[in-house]
Amino acid sequence: MITLANEWLKNPVVILVGLVIIFGIIVLAILLVKKFLFKEEKPEMDEKQIAKENVERYLEDVEDEETKKQFEQYENEQKENK
């Protein structure tokens, strides 16, 4: 009986499967600890705040003076047309 167990333990496939199972259990334990002990509470945001953050992320301030002048001229023309 003991020799049968020793023969199983000498088989590389059994050793590999055993190591995979052991490391799988360790990873599962780490994930469960991380999920239940280290909960991150995210502040809830309303839709307007989320939309504002998305717009700010994509828009950039204009630094070129000529472009600023063109924007101002366009805005003035739009005001005059109304």
Q: What is the pLDDT of residue 25?
A: 97
**CA 62 vs CA 49, 53, 72: distances in Å:** 23, 18, 12
- Who has greater pLDDT, 80 or 19? 19
- Residues 68, 62: Cα–Cα separation, whole Å: 7
pLDDT tens-digit readout, 10-37 = 788 888 999 999 999 999 999 999 888 8
Sign of the dihedral through C-alpha 30, 31, 36, 41: positive
**Is it the case that residue 46 has pLDDT exceeding 90?**
no
Q: How confident is the model at residue 63 (pLDDT cuts 50, 70, 90)?
A: confident
| Separation of alpha carbons 43 and 47, rounded Å | 13
Domain positions in the chain are: 2-81
68 backbone dihedrals φ, ψ, rounded to 5°: -60, -40
pLDDT of 50 reads 85
